[in-house]
Each structure stands twice: as C-alpha cells, then as structure tokens.
Amino acid sequence: MLETMSSIMLLVLTIYSTFPIIGGLIGAKNNSIAAGVVLGLLLGPLGVLLMVMTLNNKRRECPYCYEVINNKALKCPHCQSDIKPII
C-alpha cells in the first residue's frame, strides 16, 4: 500500500517537474526563461498555458527608439523607422 502511494507521488512529481521545463522552453523564445520556469513551477499546466498566451502576444523594443512595439510591426509607430518583422 505504502509502495503504491510513493510510486503515485513519484509519478505526480515527475509530471509536475516537466512544467517548469516546458515553461522555460517557451520562455526562451520570449526572452523570459525565468518567468516561464517560475510560472510552470507555481501554476503547473496553467503556468505553461499562460506562457503560450504571452508567446502569441509577443512584443519587442524598437531598435531605434526603444519603445515597445508589436513584433509584426513593419514600421515603428513612435519614431516611424522601418523595422524587420520577427516571424
């Protein structure tokens, strides 16, 4: 009985330990590995889901004026510079 319980706990721990890793991997694409790991650790699958959502809503800094702009922007709305979009 005790053996079954500890193997279930081990399984749960194994599954749960993958969430910070997945979160970190998603965060790496968004320059926020630490945020992904912490979210995965604290919220588990919910944290991973949150990271996926932030990935779809990516924003970055304009290389010319450093204002935060949309990743798909071809022109900075702040300084009107032409920018290469990140796909």
Tokens coding 83: 């920018």
Interaction pattern, residues 54-73, with Zn ion; x per rule: CB under 5 A? --------x-xx--------
Interaction pattern, residues 12-51, with Zn ion; x per rule: CB under 5 A? ----------------------------------------
Place of tokens 């053996």: 3
Contact criterion met (CB below 8 Å) for 39 and 51: yes
The number of beta carbons lying within 10 Å of the beta carbon of residue 2 is 6
Instruction: Give the binding site for Zn ion (CB under 5 A).
Output: 62, 64-65, 76, 78-79
